[in-house]
């Protein structure tokens, strides 16, 4: 199978997909979690993986050089949400899977988690955030251990609530040595010095990857899209996949080699890739 069946709209994306198809053992398949492998829902703790995702990734894991999930979530949380409630295989069953959590600060592999100590400043943020959202009914604080996120999706006017939080959250981040990571109706305060692009590039180097596909849906994934482009410039062709929706920023869709319709679209594209690679064997 050639690259025509993947909806690619750029020459760089076509070159990346051609490289994956020609040499799957040298390919890394990488993805964000929320909004890409799992739906965006009102309660982040209920954002279970798309029920077909583990099976598709298991098939790919048998054929490519590496499967990695790069997420802002803690790795243990991604693994827990990676098993669909209805039963069946989960992400932990994907051969050789690596999960890089908290934007790459944590690593899950073979059931083991490694991570540095939590950064300073988080305790002060934990104490301050309830006061920031006290007058915003529906706003929710998510404690990720190494980061904290404010969700406004359940507010009466989510966009206005997010805008109202922007300045005080930025001030709190500056005072505590953290940075603000904006997302889809969320502001996250996290440590500086690591992002999804750096995490992805380090993983590609570790695996001596010869091609890469990365799928993402939010502003935090732009760094990984940039890493795909940087890899192509240094001889590692790649494909940037946008999991599209009405909320996805134009900056993401503009940099993507292919835009699909949310997690179901991502799974369909990966299933097409798995079938193409299966046909080679």
Q: Give the pLDDT mean for 253-273.
A: 97
**Chain centre to alpha carbon of residue 9:** 22
The predicted structure's pLDDT at residue 1? 55
Q: Report the alpha-carbon distance of residue 53 to residue 60 in Å, rounded.
A: 11
Q: Which of 103, 96, 101 is nearest to 27 (CA)?
A: 96
Per-residue pLDDT of 118-131, as tens digits, reads 888 899 999 999 99
**Chain centre to alpha carbon of residue 236:** 20
Q: Indicate the burial class of 127 (C-beta count within 10 angstroms; 0-12, 13-18, 19 or more).
A: exposed
Q: Give the pLDDT mean for 199-228.
A: 96
Can you list the domains of the chain with their CATH numbers? 4-113+194-280 (3.40.50.1000), 122-190 (3.30.70.1020)
The predicted structure's pLDDT at residue 280? 58
Single pTM value for the model: 0.87
Q: Give the pLDDT mean for 54-65.
A: 97
Q: Report the alpha-carbon distance of residue 173 to residue 193 in Å, rounded.
A: 14
């Amino acid at each position: 199978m050639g690259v025509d069946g993947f909806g690619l709209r750029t020459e760089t994306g076509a070159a990346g997909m051609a490289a994956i198809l020609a040499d799957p053992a040298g390919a890394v398949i990488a993805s964000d979690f929320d909004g890409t492998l799992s739906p965006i829902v009102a309660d982040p703790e209920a954002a279970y993986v798309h029920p077909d995702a583990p099976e598709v990734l298991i098939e790919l894991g048998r054929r490519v050089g590496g499967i990695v999930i790069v997420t802002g979530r803690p790795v243990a949380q991604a693994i827990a949400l990676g098993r669909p409630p209805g039963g069946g295989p989960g992400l932990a069953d994907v051969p050789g899977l690596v999960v890089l959590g908290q934007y790459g600060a944590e690593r899950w592999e073979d059931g083991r988690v490694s991570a540095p100590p939590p950064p300073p400043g988080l305790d002060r943020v934990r104490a301050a955030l309830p006061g920031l959202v006290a007058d915003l009914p529906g706003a929710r604080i998510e404690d990720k251990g190494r980061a904290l996120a404010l969700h406004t999706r359940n507010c009466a006017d989510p966009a206005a609530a997010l805008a109202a939080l922007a300045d005080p959250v930025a001030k709190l981040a500056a005072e505590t040595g953290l940075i603000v990571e904006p997302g889809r109706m969320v502001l996250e305060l996290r440590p500086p010095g690591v992002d999804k692009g750096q995490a992805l590039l380090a993983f590609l180097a570790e695996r001596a990857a010869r091609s890469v596909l990365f799928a993402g849906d939010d502003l935090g994934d732009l760094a990984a899209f940039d890493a795909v482009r940087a890899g192509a410039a240094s001889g590692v062709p790649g494909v940037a996949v946008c999991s599209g929706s009405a909320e996805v920023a134009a900056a993401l869709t503009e940099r993507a080699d292919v835009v699909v319709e949310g997690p179901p679209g991502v799974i369909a594209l990966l299933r097409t890739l798995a079938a193409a690679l299966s046909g080679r064997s």
